Structure 1
Amino acid sequence: MKIIKLLLLSIVAVSISAQELDPEFLESLPDDIRKDIQENNQRKLDGTDEKYSPYIYSSKLAKAETFLKLKDRLETDLLEMERRLNSESSFDMNEDLKLYGSDFFNTFQTSFMPINEPNPDSGYMLDVGDVLQIQLVGQNSDIDDFLISSDGSINIPDIGKIIVAGLSLNDTSELIKSKVNTAFIGTEAFISLSEIRDVNILVTGNAVNPGIYTLTGNSNILQALLAAGGISDFGSLREINLIRDEVVVETLDIYDLLIEGKYSIKKRLRSGDVVFVEARKNIVTIDGAINRPAKYEAFDGQKLINIIRYANGINRIADLENISLERMVDGSLRTISVPNDSYFEAIDVQDGDSIYFREYPYRQAKISGAVLKPGSYTMAAGQTINDLIEKAGGYTENAYQFGAIYLNEDAKKVNELSKEILYQEFLDSIIAASQQNIGDLTPVVKLTEEIKNTAANGRVVINLLNDQSVDLYNIKEGDELFVPERNNVVYVYGETSSEGAVMYSDNQDVEYFVEKSGGYKKFADNESIYILHPNGESQLYRSKRSVFERSPKSEIKIYPGSIIFVPRALDESAPRRIAAQAYVSILGNLGIALASLSALSDD
C-alpha cells in the first residue's frame, strides 16, 4: 500500500498545476519556504513558469555536465590552435579600452583651483591689479596696502613712485626695502602680497568649452583647461600651448605629468594669454599581456617601443613568440607577426596601429593542508594535480591523501543547478502532499530548508593514491586542493543517541559505529543510512538487506574520516529518491566543514 501511495504522490508532484493553497497550510511553513511556494504557484497561475518535469530537469543537468566536459576538451584544443595562428590572422582587442589620460580632468580636484587669497611663491610676477601690503617697523611705523596702477607702479608716501609690474615678488621686495632704507633711518620694511589680480585669458582649439575666462593671476595652463571643461575628443593630451604675444612660451604634455611624474609648469597666466589645445595626434592601441592596456597618443616620429613603455611594460605571462602588430598597409588592414619586442625599437608609430601580446594560458590554483609548502601557485595550461602537489613540495608525513578535497568552479556550477532542481522538486512534493493530506510534513519541510540553505561546494571526487587519475586531471583557474591529516575517527550524525566522533576500528561495519554512538533513536530510518567517504564518494546502506541487493552490506567499507548519517524516517509524503539527493548534498558540505575544522584544530 505504501508503494502505491508513494507512486501516486510522485505522479501528483510531476503533474501538479496551480491552484489556491490552503492558508492554514501556508502559515505553518517557515517564511522563506512559504514565500517560494507562493511565488512558484503565482507563476503557474500567470502561465510564466516552465512546466515542471523531473525528466526535463535531469536532461538539463546532464546537458550542463556534458557541455562542461566539452568545454575542457575545447580549451585544450584551442591552446594548440592559438600557437598555430599565421601572420595574417586577426586578433581580438578589448573594445572598451580608453585613451590613456582622457579622464584626467574628470578627476581633477576643485581644491587645486587657485582662490582669491595670496599664496604664491617668491617667483610670482607682479602686474597691474595686484595689491601689495607694506609694513614699516622702526622710527617710522606704518602698514598700508598699495594697488599696482595701470602704469605698473605703486606710490609710497615720502618715497614716491616705484615701477614693480613685471618684477617677481622677491625682486620687488628687495627694491622696496632698498628705497625705505635710503628714505628712513632705522626703519625696516616687510612686503607681502595682499590681493592677487584677475586675468582674462582665451582657451581655444580642441577644448571642451572654448572661450574667454577670468581667472586669478596665480593660475596656470592646467587651471585654464579645467575651467574650459578639459580636452575634447579631438584634442591632444600631448601638446597644449600657452601663447603670449603670438609666441609659444610654454607647452604642456599631460603624459609628462601622468607617466613621467614631471611637473614642469612654470608660467603663470597673464591677461591676453591664449591657451591652445592642438589636434589629437597618432593613437596606438596596446592590449593583451601588458601591465596597463589602453590607447595611447604618440607624436610623429616616435617609435612603437615608447607605447610599450607608456603601458608600463610587458607582464610576466606574455608569450613573446606571439606578438602581433595590426596596421593599415596600402589601404588594407593587415596583421604582422612580430619576432620579438625589440623589433618595435625600429618601427615608427602610425595612427591606428594596434599591438597585441598574447598571454600564456596560466591559471592560479591553491593547495593547503598537509603539504610542505601550502599556498597559491601559478600553473601552466596542461599541468595536473600532481604538478600542483610537486610545486607544494609534496606531502607531510601525516598526510591523508584518501581524504583530499578538490574544489572546482565548473563542478560548483553543476552543483548549483542540481541543488536548484532538487529544491524545486521538494517544493512541489510539499504542495502535492498538502493537497493529498498525507502525513506530517514537518520532517520534509525541515529537509527542504536544509537544501535551500546548503551552499554548492563544487567538490570533485579524486583519488590522490591513484597516480594515473592525478596525472589526467588538468588544473583550472581557481581550483583548490586541501589535503587533511589522518584523523582516526568516524563521524556519526542524525538519529542516533549520541552524535559525534567515534574512534576508528579496522574491519568494522556501519552497525558497529552506530552502536558506539548509542544506537538508533525511535524515528531513525535504518533502511536508508547515508555514508560519505573521505574521498567524497557516497553510499546508501540498508540495515535490512533487500533480496534485490547485488552486494551484501558487509562489502561497504568504513574508512577513517567517513561520515555516517542516519536520517529521520520519512513517511510516504516525501519520495525517498529526492530525499536521498538532499542528504548526499548536505553530507558533502558537512564533510568539507569537518575536514577544515580538523585542520584548524591541528594548527
Structure 2
Amino acid sequence: MAFAKISVSGGKAAIAGIWLSLASAGFAQVTNVPSGSPLAPDGTTSPPSATNSQSNLQTGNNGGNNPFADNGTIGSLDVSEKNQNNPLTLEQILSAKGATADKADNVIKKPPEPGEFEKYIEALLGRKVPLFGTKLVLPALRDFAAPATATVPPDYIVQPGDTIDVALSGSLDGSVERQVDTNGKIFLTGVGAVRVAGVRNSDLHDIVARAIGTKFRGFTASVTITKLRGIRVYVTGLANNPGAFTVSSLSTLANAVFQAGGPNGGGSWRAIKLYRNGQQVADFDLYQLMRGGSRVNDVQLQNEDVLFIPPAGPQVAVIGSVHEEAIYEAKPGESVADMLAAAGGANTVGDPTHFVLYQTGDPERAGPQWLASSVATGTPIGAGDIIQILSTGTLAMPIAQQKVLVRIEGEVQKPGVYYVSPGTTFADIVGQAGGLTSKAYAFGAKFTRQSVKIQQQESFKEALDQLEISLAAAPLNQDPTLASGDRDAQRAAARAVLMRLREAKPDGRVVLGIAPGATSLPGRVVLENNDAIYIPPLASTVGVFGAVYRPSSFLVDADHNARRVRDYIDQVGGSLPSADKGGIFVVRASGEVIPKKRGALNARVLPGDVIFVPVRTQPNLFWAHLRDLTSTLFSFGLSAATIVAVTK
C-alpha cells in the first residue's frame, strides 16, 4: 500500500473538513486501525464513505483521545494515493488546510575586515596575505549550519521539540508523527504518554515498542526521528557577526562559529570557549579541524549555550614557497616548526633545509636571520614574526653544473635526444650523433635555445606594446587631406596586423654566424639544457615575397653565385608601385637579416634565401614603427612564412 503523509493543525472542527476533502478527492483510508489504537482516534462517529474507500476511519469528537486534537502536538494521517481522475492535488489540500513547509534561512555573512597586522604585511610585501581560515566563511562558500534533515546519530539524545515518526505493520498498519512536548513525552492514543526525552536514538525504538506492547500484540514497529528541534545559542566576543543564532540540535561548536562568520580580524581561532549554565565546558582549537581534521572537543551544542571568541594570540606571517601563504595564530609555547607545519611546510620548489626569520617585534633582532630547519623546533615564535621559505627549485644553475638534454636531428648519422654531461660542446654532440651527412647544409643549421626563446618573447611583447601605443596615437599623425573612411580602414588594417603579430611566437633561434661554404658547426659553443639543433639538407630554392608582381620561389641553378638579389626581384616582374623599395631586406638560411642599407640589393643570393619587399605605408607612427620592426622581427625567431602571413 502506498502512503502519503499529511500534517495538519487546528481543533476538532477542522477534522470533518479535512475528512470531507480527502473523501471527495478519492483517497482511501488507513486500514487495520482498531478503535483506540495508537494510529487512530478513539471515537464512534464515522465520516461519510468515499466511493473508492477501502475502509472507514473513525474521527470522534472527544478531543482527549483524538490524535489530531488541538493539544499542542502535530498529528499526521497516512492515506493511500488519490484517484487519478480527481483534479485536486495533495499540494492543494495542504495549502487549503494551512500546512506549510520548512524553509532554510541561509544568510551570507560578510567577510571580516583585515586586522592591523594584515595591513602591515600587505604594505610590506605589496600584496595581500590572508588570515588563515577566512576563506572558509567567505560569501558563496558552503553553509556550515547542520540541516534539520541531517542523519541522526545513534548516540543523539532525544529532546523536547523533536518530531518522532511511529510506523506499525501487522495487526496495526499505518504511521503517526508526534512532537516531544515540553515534559519530554509523546502521546499515543490507547497507550498514553511515553517519556522519550533523555533517551538515546539507538534506544528509542525499544522504549516506544515496549510501551505499545503493553496494550497491543502482533505488530512490528519502526521508530525514527524525522525532525530535530532548533536550539538557540549565543556567539559572543570577537566574532565577525556576533549574536543569537537558531541552529539544529545536531550542531556543534564549530558549526555555530562558522554560522556566525568566524572570528573577526582580531578574534582567536584557537581558543574558542563554550559556556553552559555559567560553566566552561570546552576550549576548542579550530586549527585542529581545519589542518588536522580532528574534532576532538568540538562539543555538540545545547539550548542557551554561549560561545565566546577571545582576542587572538600572537599572529605570524608565513610566506614564500610554502603550501599556503597566510597569517597564522600562534599558541603560547609554539615554535617556528609549529607555524611551518600549519602552513603545510615547504612546497615542491621550497628549500626544506633553511628558512628566514624576521622578528619585527624585537628591535635588536629585526633583520633577517638565515637559520637551518634543524633549529626550527627550538626557536620560539613571537608576535609579528615573519617566516619565509625561499625557493631553490627555480634557481638557475651554473653552466658547468648543468647536465643537459640536447636534441639533434636532420642531416646527422644518428639523430636523437642525448643526455650529456656539463660542458658538452657542439663538436661533442655532433660526434656522438655520428657526424654530418654528405648532404648537410651547415650554413642553414637552425639552433634554438630555451633561455633565448624566453628573452625573445619578452622583447617581442615589448615591441608589440610599442606598436599598440603607435596605433593609439596614429589619429594625431594622420595626413589631414586623407578621407575619414580611408583613415578608419587603415586603423582597422593596423589592428588586424597587430592581432596577427600577437598570435606569432618567437622560437628562440640563435644565428651561428657560419660561413656559406662551411662543412661543420662551430665546435666551441657550450650546450645548455633543452637546446635543439636541426641540420637541413642543402637548400634548393630562393623565395621572393611581398610587394612584387609575382611572388615566387625559384630553384637554385648552377650559376646562383653570380646572381644578385635585384636579379631575382626583376625575375618576378619587379616591385609594385606601392612597394617600399628602401625597406627591402634578405633573410639568409642561417637566420641573418640583411637590409638594403647594408647592400641587400647587391648581395649575392645563397640557397635558402628569402627576399622580402615591404609595402609603402602612410606616414603615421604605427606604420612607420611596423616598417622599422618588420626587418628585425626575424631576430625574434619568426619564420619568413610568418612575416609574410601577418603583413600581406
Query: Shorter chain as normaliser: what TM range?
Result: 0.5 to 0.7
Aligned to 1:486: 536
Aligned equivalents of 2:472, 2:357: Cα separation in 1: 53
Q: Does 1:284 align with 2:316?
A: yes
Tell me the secondary structure at the aligned position of residue 270 of structure 2: strand
Q: Give the drift of 1:105.
A: 1.3
Q: Does 1:99 align with 2:147?
A: no
Aligned equivalents of 1:337, 1:574: Cα separation in 2: 53
- Say which of 205, 208, 233 aligns to 2:265: 233
Distance 1:112 1:491, change over 3 A: farther
Q: How does 1:203-218 map to 2 (within 5 A)?
A: 203-218=235-250
Q: Does 1:304 align with 2:352?
A: no
Cα contact 2:157–2:199 (8 A) shared by 1: yes
Cα contact 1:443–1:568 (8 A) shared by 2: no
Supply the AA of the counterpart residue of 1:594.
Answer: A
Supply the AA of the counterpart residue of 1:455.
Answer: L
Q: Does 1:362 align with 2:395?
A: yes
Aligned equivalents of 2:525, 2:143: Cα separation in 1: 60
Between 502-511 and 233-242, the greater mean CA deviation after superposition: 502-511
Cα contact 2:317–2:328 (8 A) shared by 1: yes
Aligned to 2:460: 412
Q: Does 1:315 align with 2:362?
A: no
Aligned equivalents of 1:336, 1:574: Cα separation in 2: 50
Residue-pair matches, total: 479
Between 355-364 and 92-101, the greater mean CA deviation after superposition: 355-364
- After superposition, give the CA deviation of every residue in 1:267-295 in whole Å (9 maximum; x if it has no partner): 43221212222321121111223232221
Aligned to 2:169: 137
Aligned to 1:563: 610
Aligned equivalents of 1:95, 1:567: Cα separation in 2: 47
Q: Give the drift of 1:127.
A: 0.7
Cα contact 2:314–2:330 (8 A) shared by 1: yes
Aligned to 2:631: 584
Q: Give the drift of 1:330.
A: 5.9
Aligned to 2:99: none
Cα contact 1:492–1:563 (8 A) shared by 2: yes
Aligned equivalents of 1:362, 1:563: Cα separation in 2: 40
Aligned equivalents of 1:255, 1:273: Cα separation in 2: 22
Aligned to 2:253: 221
- Say which of 228, 250, 274 aligns to 1:242: 274
Aligned equivalents of 2:133, 2:466: Cα separation in 1: 47
- Say which of 450, 455, 470 aligns to 2:501: 455
Aligned equivalents of 1:577, 1:267: Cα separation in 2: 74
Distance 1:324 1:446, change over 3 A: closer
Q: Does 1:520 align with 2:574?
A: yes
Aligned equivalents of 2:544, 2:371: Cα separation in 1: 63
Distance 1:345 1:535, change over 3 A: farther
Q: Give the drift of 1:442.
A: 12
Aligned equivalents of 1:115, 1:96: Cα separation in 2: 35
Q: Give the drift of 1:189.
A: 1.4
Aligned equivalents of 2:182, 2:490: Cα separation in 1: 94
Supply the AA of the counterpart residue of 2:395.
Answer: Y
Cα contact 1:305–1:342 (8 A) shared by 2: no
Aligned equivalents of 1:189, 1:160: Cα separation in 2: 17
Q: How does 1:81-160 map to 2 (within 5 A)?
A: 93=125, 96-107=128-139, 109=141, 111-117=143-149, 119-160=151-192
Distance 1:445 1:484, change over 3 A: farther
Supply the AA of the counterpart residue of 1:510.
Answer: V
Between 398-407 and 334-343, the greater mean CA deviation after superposition: 398-407
Q: How does 1:34-53 map to 2 (within 5 A)?
A: none
Aligned to 1:531: 586
Aligned to 2:306: 274
Q: Give the drift of 1:261.
A: 3.0
Q: Give the drift of 1:305.
A: 0.8
- After superposition, give the CA deviation of every residue in 1:94-147 in whole Å (9 maximum; x if it has no partner): 652121112321157455434444642333221111121212222234532222
Cα contact 2:358–2:385 (8 A) shared by 1: yes
Aligned equivalents of 2:505, 2:322: Cα separation in 1: 32
Distance 1:136 1:321, change over 3 A: closer
Tell me the secondary structure at the aligned position of residue 269 of structure 2: strand
Higher relative contact order (CA 8 A, sep 6+): 1
Q: Which structure's CA Rg is the greater one?
A: 2
Supply the AA of the counterpart residue of 2:628.
Answer: Q
Aligned to 2:551: 499
Q: Give the drift of 1:455.
A: 2.8
Cα contact 1:423–1:452 (8 A) shared by 2: no
Aligned equivalents of 2:594, 2:235: Cα separation in 1: 79
Aligned equivalents of 1:595, 1:209: Cα separation in 2: 60
Tell me the secondary structure at the aligned position of residue 237 of structure 1: coil
Distance 1:347 1:135, change over 3 A: same
TM-score w.r.t. length of structure 2 = 0.60
Distance 1:151 1:396, change over 3 A: farther
Superposed CA RMSD in Å reads 5.0
Cα contact 2:353–2:373 (8 A) shared by 1: no
Aligned equivalents of 1:552, 1:207: Cα separation in 2: 76
Tell me the secondary structure at the aligned position of residue 366 of structure 2: strand
Higher helix share: 1
